[in-house]
Structure 1
Amino acid sequence: MQVRQSKQDLLKKITEEHEFDDFVVTERDGDGSSIMSSLSYVTFRARGKTDMKLFAKTAAWSEKLRQNSPIIPYPFTIELYFYRTLWKQYEKLEDICNVPKENRFLKPTFYGSSDEYLNETVVIQDLIAHGYEEYERNTPADFEYMSAGIALIAQFHALSLAYSQYDPEGFIQANEYLTYDESKLVVWIGSMSPKMLANAFSSAEKYRDKLEKYFKTPEKLVQLIMDCYRRGNDKVLVHGDFKPSNLMHRRRNGKLELCVIDFQNVHDADAVADIMYFIFTATDESFRRAHYYELLDLYYEELKASLLRLRVDPELVYPENIYRSRLEKCAMLGLAIGVACLPTVLVDKENAPDLDKDPHSVAVEGSALFKERFNGILNSYVEWGLL
């Protein structure tokens, strides 16, 4: 395949640094799960050496789309900043505190990047070559998977909380860089909310009347989302898109390991947003009936354990009563995620949105699986007495 010059130069540099002779690039066929990047596999070769297999992510957003995006800076520059700057600080904290290897946040090894505008590229470890597998995004997760994911979220949040204590000025700089333009976000969600709600109403079965009564106006959906995604003062940088399609998994020594592969939406927001997004994009009704509150409790236990390993007092930086108040404030966020995000998460490949053609195409019509899962969300909220 033809490779743009900036990406070609980056791959040549990696080839030389690791003493390989050449490389081969194979484009990855999309499944609808990635709307921000074009993806490719890169194999580095040399006579007498084992191939080195890496993974390249290249920006896929046009100039026009970037200008209208509420994500400031753009998703690709966020990921560049994460690998080049923020992760180095997080890793330093883990080293200083002697966090055991098994308790460290798992991410792919970073090999290099190019920041050419409109063609930003990040090259990372190909986890498949190391025994990891992609999760089938149409399959609801089980308790083992969800527990591992909740622990990973807690580790990620703990690192930002600890960073705010060890280096307040550095954290403030990261916090200011990794933010959303709230005014643009309100306009963007507001412009799509009528279509999102229309899709939700038409998909609802048993409780359509309750749903329509709750969302009397599109502004209600905007309010629900913004209440949890507005910048706060909790000193937490959230992942922003924590779902199975952004995770890889493998079993090692009998234990399930999850590794995050996407950091294009890291930003300042309510910690509960990551938890709710993961739960409501990864699970079905029967799972939530059995384990929803258990997972919410597990998160705080894992957060405390992670903070203590980083030598930070949980009650100082994120007391449990604050966490519980955030859960109460964001209690309806799962319903909003079902309306606004789940159709895209579960979209059929042939209906995947093309944001360059239409920035509002993320408001897709729900697939058959979406309708099943969404009605399960309605059932959950009715059972909990919240709808």
Structure 2
Amino acid sequence: MSVYFYIYDINPEYTNNMSNPEQILRKLLGEIIENKNYKDPKLNLEQISTGGANYTSQLFIVTVSEPGNEDLQLFAKVGIVGEKMRSQMPVLIYDIERYAYKELLGKYESIQNDHQVPAAERLRIPKFYGYNPTVYEETIVLENLAAKGFTTYDRFKSINWEYASKSVTSMAKFHALSIVYSEEYPEEYKRVLDMMKFQVDAISIFIREGLKKYQNIAIAAASENNKSKLKNYLESKVSLDVIVNFYKPGRLHILCHGDYRPSNLMHRENKDGTMEVIPVDYQTIHTGTPLTDLIYFIFTGSDEEFRRRHFWDLLDYYYRELCNALRSLGRNPRNVYPEDEFHHDVKEILPLGLVIGIILLPVITVETEDAPALDGEIDLDTVLNTKISSSYVERMRGIINDYARWDII
């Protein structure tokens, strides 16, 4: 599920024109196929399930085949957020992602080309084929990375070091490109920042209702030694203003991914034993500080054992990889983000991981059979009333243990 929501005006003329996702997709595919000059292609379209990892789109894999031509392997997302959710939490996630693939990521690719970044050091960007911007029919079509051996990580398993380190490397490349974009195209970048400005009013709805719903569940999940500590901390230190402040731009005013977690990353183990990680699902790009992506990734994807062994090492690893990415783009990291400033920012933002666990883990760890149906009628209450899983209790207890061990609660 995407966490950040953006405000826009709903056009009433669209509210009664919602169509079947497959019909919507077939229309767009016809245009893409025509542009690719296929004469009489065979189209194989298969609807796929994310098993509770996605609530905003219906997903499809598509194969376009024709004798004499190489098969075209596609992946498509058709928006399914209905009128009720849009009225509760107006969204621009589809517009954000469309802009990302159509404009922003292409700009990042050109920056990598300009700096002659070697293939192994580049941010890998999925190929973009087309889109439909019509409200209630929002669709995007990309290359099917699964056809090339990529897959998503099991959301019920904690990340391991190999996967985490490669994921953080890709994150650092994404952030470094934003930094260089800001320096090489300052006026253009300023317009992008204005467009991707973090929408405080919209996210406040989710935070407020999420805390109201889940904080007592989190306290119940805590060990006996930590129940009162957590309760006192939430009552005295956690407020809507405090949480929103974490997402305000800091020393680095960059474009963050916004939903950087294992379900939104594709990975592949190569024949030489290396691993490659490609970020996807760019619906939640927003302005902010890079550490929000890093803390978000760690606390949505890891368990207590991983963090006990690797948490501080992974933070340092991210900084080294950010420095490496900046150097590959011709920048001196010390001039961009000095290490002492990085460690200061880590200390400031660390409490965010606890809030992320409380608000998001119920949805991230929901059992597949308990995940809300993707029928367009899902609303905020449906999401917030997701059945709590045993995985949530274990993961949340581990996070609370971390914050007690770090003397934060």
TM-score normalised by the chain length of structure 2: 0.88
The Cα offsets for residues 328-357 of structure 1, whole Å up to 9 and x where unpaired, read as 111111111110111111111233246844
Q: Matched residue of 2:382: which SS?
A: coil
Tell me if the contact between 2:21 and 2:78 (Cα under 8 Å) persists in the aligned partners: no
Query: Which residue in the other structure is 2:281 paired with?
Result: 262
**Structure 2: how far apart are the matches of 1:242 and 1:261?**
9
User: In the TM superposition, what is the alpha-carbon distance from 1:280 to its structure 2 partner?
Assistant: 0.9
Deviates more, 1:350-359 or 1:303-312: 350-359
Tell me if the contact between 1:162 and 1:310 (Cα under 8 Å) persists in the aligned partners: yes
Tell me if the contact between 1:193 and 1:221 (Cα under 8 Å) persists in the aligned partners: no
Tell me if the contact between 1:79 and 1:264 (Cα under 8 Å) persists in the aligned partners: yes
Is the alpha carbon distance of 1:212 and 1:194 closer, same or farther for their aligned partners in structure 2, counting shifts above 3 Å? same
Partner letter of residue 36 of structure 1?
T
**Structure 2: how far apart are the matches of 1:2 and 1:46?**
26
User: In the TM superposition, what is the alpha-carbon distance from 1:233 to its structure 2 partner?
Assistant: 5.8
Are 1:368 and 2:387 matched, yes or no? no
User: In the TM superposition, what is the alpha-carbon distance from 1:44 to its structure 2 partner?
Assistant: 0.4
Query: Which residue in the other structure is 1:35 paired with?
Result: 55
Deviates more, 1:361-370 or 1:295-304: 361-370
- The 5 A counterparts of 1:19-168 are 19-20=37-38, 21-69=41-89, 74-168=92-186
User: In the TM superposition, what is the alpha-carbon distance from 1:248 to its structure 2 partner?
Assistant: 1.3
Deviates more, 1:51-60 or 1:356-365: 356-365
The Cα offsets for residues 14-61 of structure 1, whole Å up to 9 and x where unpaired, read as 212334313222111230100111111111011243422210001111
**Structure 2: how far apart are the matches of 1:94 and 1:48?**
34
**Structure 2: how far apart are the matches of 1:131 and 1:186?**
39
Partner letter of residue 142 of structure 1?
N
Tell me if the contact between 1:280 and 1:338 (Cα under 8 Å) persists in the aligned partners: yes
1:358 aligned residue (379, 382, 391): 379
**Structure 2: how far apart are the matches of 1:63 and 1:70?**
9
1:349 aligned residue (338, 361, 368): 368
**Structure 1: how far apart are the matches of 2:22 and 2:391?**
38
**Structure 1: segments with no counterpart, 5+ residues:** none
**Structure 2: how far apart are the matches of 1:130 and 1:17?**
23
Q: Matched residue of 1:134: which SS?
A: coil
User: In the TM superposition, what is the alpha-carbon distance from 1:68 to its structure 2 partner?
Assistant: 3.5
Are 1:293 and 2:315 matched, yes or no? no
**Structure 2: how far apart are the matches of 1:256 and 1:30?**
22
User: In the TM superposition, what is the alpha-carbon distance from 1:5 to its structure 2 partner?
Assistant: 5.4
TM-score normalised by the chain length of structure 1: 0.93
Query: Which residue in the other structure is 2:344 paired with?
Result: 325
Query: Which residue in the other structure is 1:186 paired with?
Result: 204
**Structure 2: how far apart are the matches of 1:91 and 1:290?**
35
Of all paired residues, the percent bearing the same amino acid is 33
**Structure 2: how far apart are the matches of 1:317 and 1:68?**
40
Partner letter of residue 347 of structure 2?
E
User: In the TM superposition, what is the alpha-carbon distance from 1:316 to its structure 2 partner?
Assistant: 2.8
User: In the TM superposition, what is the alpha-carbon distance from 1:225 to its structure 2 partner?
Assistant: 2.6
Q: Matched residue of 2:124: which SS?
A: coil
User: In the TM superposition, what is the alpha-carbon distance from 1:322 to its structure 2 partner?
Assistant: 2.4
Q: Matched residue of 2:238: which SS?
A: helix
User: In the TM superposition, what is the alpha-carbon distance from 1:195 to its structure 2 partner?
Assistant: 0.8
Number of equivalent positions: 384
User: In the TM superposition, what is the alpha-carbon distance from 1:137 to its structure 2 partner?
Assistant: 0.9
**Structure 1: how far apart are the matches of 2:49 and 2:288?**
32
User: In the TM superposition, what is the alpha-carbon distance from 1:122 to its structure 2 partner?
Assistant: 0.7
Deviates more, 1:76-85 or 1:311-320: 311-320
Partner letter of residue 147 of structure 2?
A
User: In the TM superposition, what is the alpha-carbon distance from 1:2 to its structure 2 partner?
Assistant: 6.0
Is the alpha carbon distance of 1:3 and 1:293 closer, same or farther for their aligned partners in structure 2, counting shifts above 3 Å? closer
Partner letter of residue 134 of structure 1?
T
User: In the TM superposition, what is the alpha-carbon distance from 1:377 to its structure 2 partner?
Assistant: 0.9
Query: Which residue in the other structure is 1:204 paired with?
Result: 222
**Structure 2: how far apart are the matches of 1:2 and 1:365?**
28
The RMSD of aligned alpha carbons is: 2.0
Is the alpha carbon distance of 1:292 and 1:313 closer, same or farther for their aligned partners in structure 2, counting shifts above 3 Å? same
**Structure 2: how far apart are the matches of 1:356 and 1:44?**
31
Partner letter of residue 346 of structure 2?
L
Is the alpha carbon distance of 1:3 and 1:191 closer, same or farther for their aligned partners in structure 2, counting shifts above 3 Å? closer
**Structure 2: how far apart are the matches of 1:6 and 1:352?**
24
**Structure 2: how far apart are the matches of 1:184 and 1:244?**
24
Deviates more, 1:57-66 or 1:144-153: 57-66
User: In the TM superposition, what is the alpha-carbon distance from 1:108 to its structure 2 partner?
Assistant: 1.6
Query: Which residue in the other structure is 2:326 paired with?
Result: 307
User: In the TM superposition, what is the alpha-carbon distance from 1:202 to its structure 2 partner?
Assistant: 2.3
Partner letter of residue 379 of structure 2?
D
